[in-house]
Structure 1
Amino acid sequence: MFTPLVCGAVVFPGLFYTFRKVLRSTFTRWSDADVVSVSERLAPSQLMSPTAAGVTVVASCRDVMTDSHWLVNGFVLFGAPYMAHDIYAMYLSHFYNQRAKGQVGAHSGHSLQTVRAFLFKDWMLILHHLALLLIFVRGLGDFFIGCLFTTEFSTPFISIGKILIQLGLDHTRLHRINGIIVLLSFFTCRIMIFPFMYWMYSRQFGIPLHRVAFHLPLQCNVGNLVILAPQIYWFILLVKKANRLYLRQRGGKGDGNKDRPKTD
């Protein structure tokens, strides 16, 4: 039972610290902030496996309320250490970025002030992680947990986009293609998955879609809202960022491509 939990506790921190060591020796000019930031983004590359598990579970469950699948318990235990460690990795990234900006002394260590600043800055991401962890542990039915597994499909592409920016490749065609994939996968797997879950419930029990929320326990609706609200906010930010990038590149072309990077 605890084997997946132990594996997750070894795999995700192990990947993070391995990437830190490799990047530090490979990109010797990178700062600690650069190394930690990219390492944090590389570690979620393993999240395609829960996505595959989620699709398998969703496709296998005929009854959305009572059907179970053996993959769910294993991946809940395997993913729990990732949620916990990712919060720690985000804090390290915040700490070294603050140090690079001079807001933390070059020789200063971790303090309650840096932790408080991190909690204030990234409270929404932390809340998202904790909410998912709580829902996965308590359980909503294997079908619904399988749907929530699929929300991680967009995470590796988001990480790739930030890594490309870190490498100075944010004006390349690869970055633009990845940006389109981010928008499509984020909208499909992190936003539309919630109407899909309610639609599947309404289809099984023969009730109108708009009445489903009144048939579900309050904690289910609140849990879904806590997870969905940040997704909508982050998607709006992604769309605004994509629009700024499009306008900037369009303006560059209008100037005869004089600022066009050689990497494209």
Structure 2
Amino acid sequence: MLFALSGGVLAFPGLFFFLRKVTSCTFKQWTEADVVLVSERLVSTLHAVLATTAGFLISTSCKNVMTDRHWLATDFVWFGIPYMSYDIYAMYLSHYYSYRVKGHEEYRNHSLHTIRAFLRRDFMLVLHHTVLLTIFLPITLFFRRDLGDFFIGCLFITEFSTPFVSFGKILIQLGLQDSWLHVTNGVMVLLSFFTCRITLFPYMYWAYGRHAGIPFHSVPFHLPLCCNLGNLCILAPQLYWFTLLCRKARRLYLRRARPKSKDLKGS
């Protein structure tokens, strides 16, 4: 427990500050906002790869979805606790420097105003991290009575889409938002997000139904209310973010299609 927790404390903030140093020295033309954003995204990608790998190992090794155990189901949670705390701080830094570079006077120094502005802008993300830290992590570590490692592994797999989201941000930072690579990555963002953050929840209900020998539509009525509410609380922001991703994809598609339509009219 302490080894995993201390490893996370050292790994994520340490890697973030290391990447800031290396990136600022390598890309000297970049602003501090550019450096912080790319460093934050790279650390998020690393965490997502580790979480997805751990989730795959856990879920594939647990044949009995309720009683089979895997040591990663607990140890990786301890390892990931510092990441959730660090990521809120890193997101705030990215917000702060991006507005400072744009010349906002109130962003010359850190203040309650800049913190409140960050919380208003990224309220859903901060709330998501806070709920995971204060509610779901204690339940996972102390109150589930060593049951359901399979489902913990499935929840880790939701991070599969994060590297594609982060890579898209980095491509925009590099000025490649109109490249075929960005378009391909955008498709992967939508597919991975929908598969691993939305359809994963019906899959977990189906897996429990198969284990309990009950039809899929009856599973919610056989589970405690707290389980259904917990899944809903995790799923709801995923649906919200997926809607935003679809809107963004639609805007990008229309923007790319507009020049072609103008050329056809001109000819």
The separation in 2 between residues aligned to 1:105 and 1:120, in whole angstroms, is 16
Q: Paired residue for 2:10?
A: 10
1:51 equivalenced with 2:52 (yes/no): yes
The separation in 2 between residues aligned to 1:132 and 1:156, in whole angstroms, is 20
The separation in 2 between residues aligned to 1:38 and 1:76, in whole angstroms, is 25
- Mapping of 1:109-188 within 5 angstroms? 109-133=109-133, 134-139=135-140, 140=144, 141-188=148-195
Amino acid at match of 2:3: T
Q: Paired residue for 1:93?
A: 94
Q: Paired residue for 2:209?
A: 202
The separation in 1 between residues aligned to 2:119 and 2:226, in whole angstroms, is 25
Q: Which moved more, 1:85-94 or 1:47-56?
A: 47-56
1:53 CA drift (Å)? 1.3
The separation in 1 between residues aligned to 2:260 and 2:21, in whole angstroms, is 40
The separation in 2 between residues aligned to 1:213 and 1:136, in whole angstroms, is 22
| CA deviations over 1:161-201 (Å, ceiling 9, x no partner) | 01101111000011011111111110000001100111111
- Mapping of 1:237-252 within 5 angstroms? 237-252=244-259
Q: Which runs of 5+ in 1 are unaligned?
A: 258-264
Tell me the secondary structure at the aligned position of residue 156 of structure 1. Answer: helix
Amino acid at match of 2:117: A
1:38 equivalenced with 2:38 (yes/no): yes
Q: Paired residue for 1:62?
A: 63
The separation in 2 between residues aligned to 1:115 and 1:250, in whole angstroms, is 39
Q: Paired residue for 2:196?
A: 189
| CA deviations over 1:73-105 (Å, ceiling 9, x no partner) | 121111111111001100111111222233344
Q: Paired residue for 2:235?
A: 228
1:109 CA drift (Å)? 2.0
8 Å CA contact 1:40–1:90 kept in 2: the answer is: yes
Tell me the secondary structure at the aligned position of residue 22 of structure 2. Answer: helix
8 Å CA contact 2:106–2:114 kept in 1: the answer is: no
The separation in 2 between residues aligned to 1:104 and 1:123, in whole angstroms, is 23
The separation in 2 between residues aligned to 1:15 and 1:179, in whole angstroms, is 27
Give me the CA root mean square deviation.
1.7
Amino acid at match of 1:129: H
Amino acid at match of 1:18: F
The separation in 2 between residues aligned to 1:205 and 1:58, in whole angstroms, is 17
Q: Which moved more, 1:15-24 or 1:183-192?
A: 15-24
The separation in 2 between residues aligned to 1:130 and 1:214, in whole angstroms, is 29
Q: Paired residue for 1:261?
A: none
TM-score (normalizing by structure 2): 0.90
The separation in 1 between residues aligned to 2:94 and 2:109, in whole angstroms, is 14
The separation in 1 between residues aligned to 2:220 and 2:251, in whole angstroms, is 37
Q: Which runs of 5+ in 2 are unaligned?
A: none
